[in-house]
Amino acid sequence: MLLLGLKINIIFNKDCNEAIKDIEQYMNSIKYKNYLAFIDPYHMEIWWKSMEKLLSFEYGDIMIVLQAKLIVRTIGTYLHSRSLSHGKKIQRFLGEENHNIIEQLRTEESVKKYYINKIYKYRKFIVDIEIKSGKRDPYRYYLIFATRRENPPWKNYIMKMKKFVEIFSGDLVETSIDYITGKAQRLYY
């Protein structure tokens, strides 16, 4: 955050769903507000009501990691077992009480679209970037960038970044490390 030419760093060492109250109090205490929030939950630790609070600050952008595959797995476990703990986690994360809607979220794509549509209520420009590994240890997640400006001047840079990141997989990183350590003779991508 930049305030009158000063960089302000404040760390709240607590659960993000509790810290959002402190963040709101701090944001309300300053005159000129602007922020970039990077949210990297492992799974579904950030509740939708916390996201809504963060998104309600008019000036600011977010980048959030969405582990859609883990969320789908948790939804599948919940639908199979009707576990109250899984159900409550899902409801808090999605901000969704309607079980019929939750039952429809059976694929990564449907979870991603649902979550992005909720963010659209607060931010007009949203880009999801697929981050994936290679063949050795497969994983996939999404980095969602959202800003309030419908056509931001940095749109082309974001779209170039999306294209660049999505072209490569974790195999390229592993191959590069093998090359640096002398395990590989050439770099391939």
- 3-class DSSP string for 117-162: HHHCCCCCEEEEEEEECCCCCCCEEEEEEEECCCCCCCHHHHHHHH
Answer yes or no: is 69 within a domain: yes
H-helix or E-strand containing 169?
none
Please report, as a single letter, which amino acid is at residue 70: L
- Domain assignment of residue 19, yes or no: no
Domain annotation covers residue 6: no
Number of domains composing the chain: 1
In a domain, 186, yes or no: no
pTM of the model: 0.82
Q: Which residues share a beta bridge with 126?
A: 146
Domain of residue 65, residue span: 34-152
164 part of a folded domain: no
Q: Does some domain include residue 80? A: yes
Residue type, 156: N
Would you give per-residue pLDDT tens digits along the chain (189 residues)? 333 444 567 778 888 899 999 988 888 888 877 888 899 998 999 999 999 999 998 888 999 999 999 999 999 999 999 888 889 999 999 999 999 999 999 999 999 999 999 999 999 999 999 988 766 666 789 999 999 989 999 899 999 989 988 887 666 666 667 777 777 666 555
Q: What is the pLDDT of residue 5?
A: 41
One-letter amino acid at 102 equals I
Domain membership of residue 172 (yes or no) is no
Taking the C-alpha atoms of residue 179 and residue 156, their distance in angstroms, rounded to an integer, is 32
Chain centroid, CA 74 distance in Å: 17
- Residue 88 included in any domain: yes
